[in-house]
């Protein structure tokens, strides 16, 4: 009983409960026929949300006003540039990965430069930089779709031990993120800044260094997700990042990370990413029309957030 | 208790007990305040003073015991009942809304001010009371509270409590009212308390500054570990007997060191005065305790913050940091409210506890445990949230945060607010020992007693350093004279 209570006090538990519930309902509807396919699809598509969600999580944890709206355009730019450079050539994969990382680092530093030097609020800075980044992607290859190298296309669509490769990658990145957050000095610093930036600075936290590192980390993860997604879907499309703008924020919030900053958690990103994908497939399975689907998605997300925040409130008042 | 039964107490609690989880905060405390009486309440951090106050004002219900208001048993005692019967509180944790103006805050506390022109009436009310208690305060009712210094916020809070709209003010409980006020403002307040009491009002005064209690209170109640351990007329106590009753001993003051500029090598910290010819440069030498004095809010905090920020560290964390800061306004500059006591304590030291980016958590816990003992931080588990600690104990955590490092320069922004006398004496001694080892302390304090412990003192006025006092010249009279010289007192 005590163990169950302790579990219920975890802020991320609700996203998993919700994901499991939706999974069950969908499976029941198809009488179990879709179990394997649905699970694999959920893991595959959730992997992309997880990778961008982790970056957004660190940014949001920096405190009120911190959010990265340039994630979709960074994904597009990284996918476009990397695929054009590799030009379907298996021998240039390493170059593609390096270019992806370089795009991320450049975007991250660019974003923080706007925030710091011009003193623009992060939400405006990243919004305006996203237009610049998106335009660069359009200008770079004029919307021509180039196929990924064969090895990469196969890797991103294949599974190992029954789990999609992209999900393994997301798991590896998540473990690193968890260590950074829970065991590393970086996570402490991010959380301190999110709670009270002035107090953190006066306690010796290198505020500028931590913030720029966080925006760079977020952009690098977005670039990586864009690279993987364009390999997975057979080429970079200019609008391929669009849905990840709201998704990246939603998975952070549903996963139990504090929107006001100062507190984050990694497992919740998984629960929330799986949940978001499963809700849409459940409604598809039931044959709901697009309008009903969006409406219900909204209602369900609100319900989960309310459940999670109520638990959180009770937990803190008894401690 | 030895109260004349003919005089009905304004409020009396009898045999009150209160426990929070495993902590017994109050056990069978009896306490009363008579009309026209100022009761001084003293005790260590965590002795149960704040719990008693919260029972008096109705925000906590005792587990056992009774409350009598004006001699009548109050069965359903509550905050509303307490307020309706004329009880007011000024809390240690300031409770004004920072985004509202002084006038608007006054209106919140005085629901009797209604209708058109409420703003004008509230403004007049607060202005009159501020003028009465703190003549020459310089606070404008149209300013938002966030613009005010911590001392000005406290003045507004005190004036609000004493001002009267619908209910007559009978009893005012002041919890550490002078902790952020400089000596002249504190003197104005204490004089006002005596006038208020002479006119038949009652006051409960809580303070760690024992001289204030001794001169202002009629009767003194000493608390320790949730119980009343001594009680009697103020005239029967002295600083020594009060400290003894609280369970500490008065320490002999450590000898001050007389400094010769540059005797131990060059300055460790300096900052040139800006522009004005009258101002002096700031210079601190190795191993000295350098005081920043003057009236509150005359640029001392700003100077400390700019000294800290100019030392760098914006981009990279550093092992063996060169400079550390002890916050006084802990909600704005110190606490990380979502965190445990442990994480709050180790934050500045963290780079030294880290290898390859990972925190050595065993070492962290042992450092924090060590400092909990040295500072006598009262909490049964360092994993408890920082906000669960009493105000004085939070301040001790912030002190430990800075002292736990090896920083050769420690900047202190009036850090002893709400810290009890036993711990203060320990810290004074600790500072002296550390200074003898070569550490430099730059110490802004609003308490004259602390200023007088410094080796050298810079007196601030209107944002500038206007005087430097050394060695035996560091006296209350000299500091006060320099604080006011030339300006309007």
Q: Does A116 touch chain B (CB under 8 A)?
A: no
Q: Which of residues 50-89 of A touch B (CB under 8 A)?
A: none
B31: nearest Cα among B49, B7, B6: B49
How do residues A56-73 score in pLDDT, each as one tens digit? 999 999 988 899 999 999
Asked if A196 lies within 8 A of B335 by C-beta distance, the reply is yes
**B380 secondary structure, DSSP code:** S
Q: Chain-centre distance of CA B236, in angstroms?
A: 26
Give dist(CA B183, CA B150) in Å, integer.
15
Residues shown for chain A: 319
Q: Does A140 touch chain B (CB under 8 A)?
A: no
Long-range contacts of B73-82 (CB under 8 A, 24+ apart): B82/B56, B82/B57, B82/B58
Strand-pair partners of B206 = B41, B175
How do residues B51-78 score in pLDDT, each as one tens digit? 888 888 888 888 888 888 776 666 677 7
Both structure tokens of B147: 């613009």
Tell me which of A61, A112, A204 to substitute to probe the interface with B (most B C-beta atoms closer than 10 Å).
A204
**B290 secondary structure, DSSP code:** E
How do residues B17-41 score in pLDDT, each as one tens digit? 888 766 678 888 889 898 889 999 9
Q: How far A102 CA sits from the closest chain B CA (Å)?
A: 21
Asked if A209 lies within 8 A of B401 by C-beta distance, the reply is no
Q: With contacts defined as CB-CB under 8 Å, which chain A residues touch B363?
A: none
Element (DSSP H or E) covering residue B206: strand B202-206
Q: How far B463 CA sits from the closest chain A CA (Å)?
A: 21
**Band of residue B260 on the pLDDT scale cut at 50, 70, 90:** low
Q: With contacts defined as CB-CB under 8 Å, which chain A residues touch B316?
A: 206, 209
Tell me which of B310, B338, B379, B414 to substitute to probe the interface with A (most A C-beta atoms closer than 10 Å).
B338
Count of A–B CB contacts within 8 Å? 93
Domains and CATH numbers, chain B: 9-246 (3.40.50.300), 267-484 (3.40.50.300)
Q: Does B338 touch chain A (CB under 8 A)?
A: yes
Give the residue from chain A lying closest to B354, CA to CA: A185
**B463 secondary structure, DSSP code:** T
Asked if B336 lies within 8 A of A192 by C-beta distance, the reply is yes
Q: Structural domain tally of chain A?
A: 1
Q: Does B381 touch chain A (CB under 8 A)?
A: no
Q: Does A311 touch chain B (CB under 8 A)?
A: no
Strand-pair partners of B40 = B205, B220
For A186, residues 6+ apart whose C-beta sits below 8 A from its C-beta are A180, A210, A213, B357
Q: With contacts defined as CB-CB under 8 Å, which chain B residues touch A179?
A: 358
Asked if B315 lies within 8 A of A208 by C-beta distance, the reply is yes
pLDDT of chain A along its 319 residues, tens only? 567 777 767 778 878 888 888 888 888 877 777 778 888 888 999 999 999 999 999 999 998 889 999 999 999 999 999 988 888 788 888 888 999 999 999 999 999 999 998 888 999 999 999 999 988 988 887 767 788 888 888 888 888 898 899 999 999 999 999 999 999 999 999 999 999 999 999 999 999 999 999 999 999 999 999 999 999 988 888 888 888 988 898 889 888 888 888 899 999 999 999 988 888 888 887 777 888 888 887 887 777 777 766 544 443 333 3
Q: With contacts defined as CB-CB under 8 Å, which chain A residues touch B336?
A: 191-192, 195-196, 199-200, 262
Both structure tokens of A268: 């919740």
Integer CA distances (angstroms), B253 to A160, A309, B45, B468, in order: 73, 53, 22, 22
The residue whose two tokens read 């980016």 is: B357
The residue whose two tokens read 């990042």 is: A241
- CATH number of the domain within which A200 lies: 1.10.3470
Give dist(CA B233, CA B247) in Å, integer.
19
pLDDT at B108: 85
Domain enclosing residue A246, as ranges: 2-318
Asked if B332 lies within 8 A of A202 by C-beta distance, the reply is no
Q: How far A22 CA sits from the closest chain B CA (Å)?
A: 33
The residue whose two tokens read 């999609």 is: A164
């Amino acid at each position: 009983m005590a163990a169950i209570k302790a579990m219920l006090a975890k802020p991320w538990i609700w996203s998993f409960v919700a994901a499991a519930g939706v999974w069950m309902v969908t499976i029941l509807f198809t009488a179990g026929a879709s179990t394997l396919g649905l699970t694999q699809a959920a893991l595959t598509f959730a992997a992309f949300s997880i990778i961008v969600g982790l970056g957004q999580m660190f940014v949001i944890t920096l405190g009120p006003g911190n959010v990265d709206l340039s994630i979709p355009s960074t994904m597009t730019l990284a996918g476009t540039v990397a695929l054009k450079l590799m030009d379907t050539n298996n021998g240039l994969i390493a170059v593609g990965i390096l270019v992806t990382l370089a795009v991320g680092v450049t975007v991250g530093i660019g974003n923080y430069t706007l925030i710091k030097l011009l003193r623009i609020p992060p939400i405006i800075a990243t919004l305006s930089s996203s237009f610049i980044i998106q335009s660069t992607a359009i200008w770079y290859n004029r919307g021509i779709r180039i196929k990924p190298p064969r090895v990469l296309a196969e890797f991103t669509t294949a599974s190992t031990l029954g789990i999609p490769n992209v999900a393994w990658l997301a798991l590896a990145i998540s473990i690193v993120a968890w260590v950074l957050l829970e065991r590393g000095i970086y996570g402490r610093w991010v959380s301190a800044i999110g709670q009270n930036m002035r107090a953190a600075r006066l306690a010796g936290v290198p505020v500028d260094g931590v913030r720029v590192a966080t925006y760079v980390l977020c952009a690098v993860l977005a670039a990586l997700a864009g690279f993987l997604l364009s390999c997975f879907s057979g080429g970079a499309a200019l609008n391929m990042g669009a849905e990840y703008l709201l998704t990246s924020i939603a998975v952070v919030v549903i996963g139990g990370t504090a929107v006001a900053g100062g507190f984050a958690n990694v497992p919740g990103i998984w629960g929330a990413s799986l949940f978001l994908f499963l809700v849409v497939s459940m409604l598809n399975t039931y044959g709901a029309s697009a309008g009903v689907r969006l409406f219900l998605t909204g209602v369900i997300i609100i319900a989960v957030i309310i459940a999670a925040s109520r638990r959180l409130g009770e937990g803190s008042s008894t401690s | 208790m030895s109260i004349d039964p003919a005089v009905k107490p304004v409020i009396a609690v009898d045999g009150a007990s209160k426990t929070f989880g495993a902590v017994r905060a109050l056990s069978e405390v009896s306490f009363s305040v008579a009309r026209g009486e100022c009761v001084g309440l003293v005790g260590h951090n965590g002795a149960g003073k704040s719990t008693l106050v919260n029972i008096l004002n109705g925000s906590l219900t005792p587990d056992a015991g009774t409350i009598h208001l004006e001699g009548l048993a109050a069965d359903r005692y509550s905050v509303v009942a307490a307020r309706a019967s004329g009880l007011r509180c000024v809390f240690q944790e300031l409770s004004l809304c920072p985004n509202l103006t002084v006038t608007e805050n006054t209106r919140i506390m005085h629901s009797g001010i209604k209708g058109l022109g409420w703003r004008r009436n509230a403004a007049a009310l607060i202005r009159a009371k501020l003028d009465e208690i703190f003549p020459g305060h310089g606070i404008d009712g149209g300013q938002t509270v966030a613009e005010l210094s911590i001392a000005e916020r406290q003045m507004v809070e005190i004036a609000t409590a004493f001002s009267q709209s619908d209910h007559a003010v009978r009893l005012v409980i002041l919890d550490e009212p002078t902790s952020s006020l400089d000596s002249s403002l504190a003197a104005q307040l204490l004089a006002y308390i005596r006038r208020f009491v002479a006119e038949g009002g009652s006051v409960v005064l809580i303070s760690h500054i024992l001289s204030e209690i001794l001169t202002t209170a009629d009767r003194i109640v000493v608390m320790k570990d949730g119980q009343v351990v001594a009680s009697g007329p103020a005239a029967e106590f002295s600083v020594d007997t009060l400290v003894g009753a609280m369970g500490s001993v008065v320490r002999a003051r450590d000898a001050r060191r007389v400094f010769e500029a540059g005797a131990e090598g060059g300055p460790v910290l300096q900052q040139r005065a800006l522009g004005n010819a009258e101002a002096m440069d700031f210079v601190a030498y190795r191993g000295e305790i350098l005081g920043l004095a003057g009236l509150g809010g005359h640029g001392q905090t700003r100077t400390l913050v700019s000294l800290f920020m100019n030392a760098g560290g914006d981009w990279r964390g550093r092992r063996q940091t060169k400079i550390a800061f002890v916050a006084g306004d802990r909600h704005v500059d110190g606490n990380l409210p979502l965190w445990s006591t442990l994480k709050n304590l180790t934050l500045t030291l963290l780079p030294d506890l880290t290898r390859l980016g990972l925190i050595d958590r065993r070492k962290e816990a042992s450092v924090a445990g060590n400092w909990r003992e040295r500072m006598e931080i009262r909490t049964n588990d360092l994993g408890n949230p920082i906000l669960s600690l009493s105000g004085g104990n939070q301040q001790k955590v912030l002190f430990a945060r800075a002292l736990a490092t090896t920083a050769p320069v420690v900047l202190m922004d009036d850090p002893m607010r709400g810290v009890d006398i036993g711990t203060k004496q320990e810290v004074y001694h600790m500072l002296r020992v550390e200074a003898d080892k070569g550490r430099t302390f730059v110490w802004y304090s609003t308490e004259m007693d602390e200023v007088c412990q410094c080796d050298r003192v810079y007196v601030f006025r209107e944002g500038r350093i206007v005087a430097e006092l050394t060695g035996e010249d560091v006296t209350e009279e000299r500091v006060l004279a320099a604080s006011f010289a030339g300006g309007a007192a």
